[in-house]
Amino acid sequence: MPEKRNTFSSLSAWRRRVLARAVHRGMRWVQEAGAVTAEQPGALRFRRIGPGTRLAFPQGTVFGEAWIELGDHCIIGEQVTLTAGMMPDLDLGPDPILTLGNGVVLGRGSHVIADTTVTIGSDTYCGPYVYITSTNHSYDDPHTPVGKQWPRAEPVEIGPGCWLGTGAVILPGARLGRNVVVAAGAVVRGEVPDHAVVAGAPARIVRSWDPEQGWQPPLRTPAPVPIPEGVTPEQLVALAELEER
């Protein structure tokens, strides 16, 4: 009896492994087939989607594509929401409303809500669940539910080369300069100068770059060692495998 039980157990484990492999292969096929690119836009008709740009499947809410421009080689993670206008099927005029520069990365679950213009500069990277919005609720009338009051909208501009940490919130009217770092969970409003690090809610500058003195206050960690010129990806993989042994 124990031998039969072991046999049935082995067969059951084999079936589970086969089924798991089939499910994983199916999921990879669905993800590949459902991704949106310039060559494979599906039902989405963006004003522009650059070569090398990819929206992972499944996508989040996307509407107003005719007023959304996506630069070259952007990476848009799963369940990312991109909207232009307050609702679908509005005529927003001749100009783009939401613009992503080249090489922008939007992490999984992020939202970019552009009821008025939102511009994200090239090579800006966003961690997961970042929220960027040009619109905020108003609460002027104390007798009317906040959700029923007409919202306020102000343009948002994020400069090139920025890094927005996980869960960061960029509020209407925010203007971030070049190479700004936004700490995870920070809530940013107003203007942030070039080469600044902001943190907190509301966010404040906690570190900035001075051309003569460098970072102030000084960085507490040594600068990373750059990869030597001429090193190939294959060599880096081989080096990593050696370090694991």
What residues are labeled active site? Answer: 137
CA nearest 194: which of 171, 178, 206?
178
* DSSP-derived secondary structure letter, 216: E
In which residue are the tokens 């039969």 written?
A: 4
Which residues, in sequence order, are CB contacts of 127 under 8 Å at separation 6+? 107, 164, 165, 166, 167, 168, 184
Whole-angstrom distance, CA of residue 162 vs CA of residue 197: 10
Each as own residue / partner, the long-range contacts of residues 83-90 (CB below 8 Å, 24 or more positions apart, any chain) are 83/112, 83/113, 83/114, 84/114, 85/114, 85/115, 86/115, 86/135, 87/63, 88/63, 88/64, 90/64
How many Cβ atoms sit within 10 Å of the Cβ of residue 192? 25
Cα distance between residue 148 and residue 146, in whole Å = 5
